[in-house]
Chains A and B, each alone.
Chain A
Amino acid sequence: MKTRKLLARIRAFFDQGAADSRESQQALREVLEKLKRKERKLRHNLDLERNPEKRSQLEQKILLVHSQRSKGLQLLKEENERDKSG
């Protein structure tokens, strides 16, 4: 197990392309995680809000963040598939 781990590290060290792709996927995951937290927070605020105008603004924000998340998840899925086929 240790040798395998070491070999993987050495391979990663020499293979810049794979490292870049991993880095990009990691960044996507990090951004998606932030968006998830943001959406959750906005939904919580919407539950507490009674003013119709402010509720409408919050709903628009939620819709926007949700669309961004869907797009991000799709991108991540595509990258994963590309990695597997490559």
Chain B
Amino acid sequence: MDQFEKYIRDNKQVFNDHKADRAKIWAHIEPHLPTNKPKVIPLWKSPMIGKAASVLILIGIATMVNLTFFGNGNSQTNEISQELQDIDMHYKGLVTYQVQLVEKNKQLSKADKEEFLSFMVELDEEYNDLILEMHSSLDNEQVLEAIVSNYRKRIELIENLLQQLNESKIKDDHYGYIL
């Protein structure tokens, strides 16, 4: 590079003597710029996400159908999980069966049966209270334990009664045999 070139390059700021009309030029630029939107990543374009979403929608529809046609408005059973329902059914079946045994027992007097059943009614009331309690706090283990022990008590009570009856029967039979 010779002196002439160097001189020009060293002093080239002289060539920057124009001032742009900023506002005017920007006014023409701005309308052509894309609008200020945050970048959206189109998730639905991903095939995996699409499939997952379809599965979720299907599950949702199935649940809705299930609730609408098979729920029968029985909100209590819907609220209790399947496992709890199974336990409940098991104990309820046991209690009903044994209560029937007591009622059918011919050895017991009417007064004895009523006395026994009044105990059962008390325990039934306690049970209903516990169920209500459980609906308001399903996660409460103490409530669940109380329900189970309520059932156990009833069963125990019935079993004891039946055992006593059977024992007296055996005694009687034995006595008869000796005779």
- Decide whether A and B are members of one complex: no
Residue numbers of B with Cβ under 8 A of A are: none
Residue numbers of A with Cβ under 8 A of B are: none
